[in-house]
Amino acid sequence: MKSPLLKICFAVLAIAAIAATGLKISDMTETTSLVATNMFETTVGGVGTTRKVYFGTLKSNILAGDIRRQIVATRGHDGMLYSQFPGDPIYSDGLTNKATYRLGHVATAPCWEITASFGNFAGETPGTANILVRASLETTNGVIFPLTFGGRRSVVIEPGGLVESDPCSAVFDKGTPFYSRTYVEAYAGDRWSLCEIALGGAEGVTWNQDLSATGSVAAGVVYTYSPMLISGKCPTVQPTILIIGDSIFRGYASNPYAGPVHALGTNYGENFGHVNIAQGGERSFDFASVSNRIYRAKLAYGCTHALVNYGVNDTIGSRTAVQMSNDLRSVWMICTNMGMLVYQCTITPISTSTDGFVTEGANQTTHANNAARTNVNDWVRLDPAPLSGHMETADAVESARNSGKWKAGYTSDGNHPNFTGVIFYAAAINTNFFRL
């Protein structure tokens, strides 16, 4: 039972939180729905920025002035390659069993008591054997903060495991670039998962040496083993994004540093902590099944928003519009029940072409299940509960609304945006929606 003084304090915090969003109390209406009870629903106006916001668990945290741990850096992942091209490795080669990787990150909020989390799985596939990890965080001028795990410098992670380091003493301002150094070791013949791409320069790998706390890591363009999450405490709750979907969000067949999630902080200098748990080939039906999110769902650590792009594989798999809408709503409710505001991307077209997709007209044939896709897209555009809004990604790459055909030159295979199309897809992800 809260005292009258506490209630007054919470009311003041509520008004301050609302004021910070630019809203007025008069803009907000109390609502009850399947989302939850005792929520505020509001519409924020402005060209291209209209949205509905459901403040559930998140509202309670904000109004209580809760300083909680949350993702505070870019390049979070679930152990899978960020951008996978045909033939790319998913695991180390098993021949070299020791390596130190250096990867760049950017602090997406003022933060302290920073930790890093490491896993031994790739998506929903646990590792094949134990791995040993030592790690540090490093400033751009070479100050190294060794990480410990329960007071020890190294930790053994069993297959399927996820471990978080003890907080270190680093303090970063928003926008501060820094590096993670990760030494990983496996028994001869065993492997570790590969994920984010080191871009050379200050990023790279040194094989067969532990340089987690000293020395120079060789520059190189290479897939890395790196922190799945970098978390910390912030003075206010910051927008952090859980990225859920299929191979389009994974970056398949598109430039990994101009990919669909580029606008969320894949590259340097961005504003949102995030973790990408998208899986190639996945349908909304798959993620809705708890057996398909045993490992990666643990990474939704303190996320405030979920960005979802399921639908392409559902369409290809002949799911009906009713089935797809029910499955999508199940995914949205999973995220809502975890305290996140949810945004769905409209589903991009699926087609074949006789001229390599260089034209839009008669040379393209849309998928036989296109009607189900268009029906679902029209429904998503209504922002059905519990959605806070949608991203108009289909219109960005489709020749005309609901045509089922790609704009000329925007795809190379009829299923994914290519190097050109992905730029326009990314631009349709309106990050103005990711506010608190």
Whether the CB-CB separation of 93 and 191 falls below 8 Å is answered with: yes
Q: Mention the CATH class of domain 239-433.
A: alpha beta
Q: What is the pTM of this model?
A: 0.81
Q: Please write the tens of the pLDDT for every residue from 154-209.
A: 999 999 999 999 999 999 999 899 999 999 999 888 999 888 888 899 999 999 99
What gap in Å lies between CA 188 and CA 114, rounded to an integer?
32
List the single range of 21-25, 316-320, 348-352, 405-409 with lowest mean pLDDT. Answer: 21-25
**Strands across the sheet with 229-233, in order?**
69-71, 229-233, 112-119, 162-164
Q: How large is the average pLDDT for residues 263-285?
A: 73
Q: Write down the pLDDT at residue 52.
A: 40
Q: Report whether 392 contacts 424 (CB < 8 A).
A: no
Report, as an integer, the average pLDDT of 347-363: 96
CA 100, CA 106: separation in Å to the nearest integer?
20
User: Where along the chain do the CATH 2.60.120 domains lie?
Assistant: 85-230
pLDDT at 26: 33
pLDDT at site 32:
30
Q: What is the structure's pLDDT at 276?
A: 85
pLDDT in tens, 360-378: 989 999 999 999 999 999 9
| CA gap 75, 315 in Å, rounded | 30
In the numeric block, which tokens belong to residue 98? Answer: 């020791």
Report pLDDT digits (tens) over 52-83.
433 334 444 444 445 567 899 888 887 776 54
Report the distance separating Cα 370 and Cα 359, nearest Å: 19
- The answer to whether 249 and 237 are in contact (CB under 8 A) is no
3 state SS for the chain: CCCHHHHHHHHHHHHHHHHHCCCCHHHCEEECCCCCCCEEEEEECCCCCCEEEEECHHHHHHHCCCCCEEECECCEECCCCCCCCCCCCCECCCCCCEEEEEEEEEECCCEEEEEEEEECEECCEECCCCEEEEEEEEECCCCEEECCECCECCEEECCCCEEECCCECCCECCCCEEEEEEEEEECCCCCCECCCEEEEEEEEEEECCCCCCCCCCCEEEEECCCCCEEEEECCCCCCEEEEECCHHHHCCCCCCCCCCCHHHCCCCCCCCEEEECCCCCCCHHHHHCHHHCCCHHHHCCCCCEEEECCCHHHHHCCCCHHHHHHHHHHHHHHHHHCCCEEEEECCCCCEEECCCCCCCCCCEEECCCHHHHHHHHHHHCCCCCCCCEEECHHHHHECCCCCCCECCCCECCCCCECCCHHHHHHHCCCHHHCCC
Q: Which fold has domain 85-230?
A: Jelly Rolls (2.60.120)
Which ranges in the chain are annotated with CATH 3.40.50.1110? 239-433
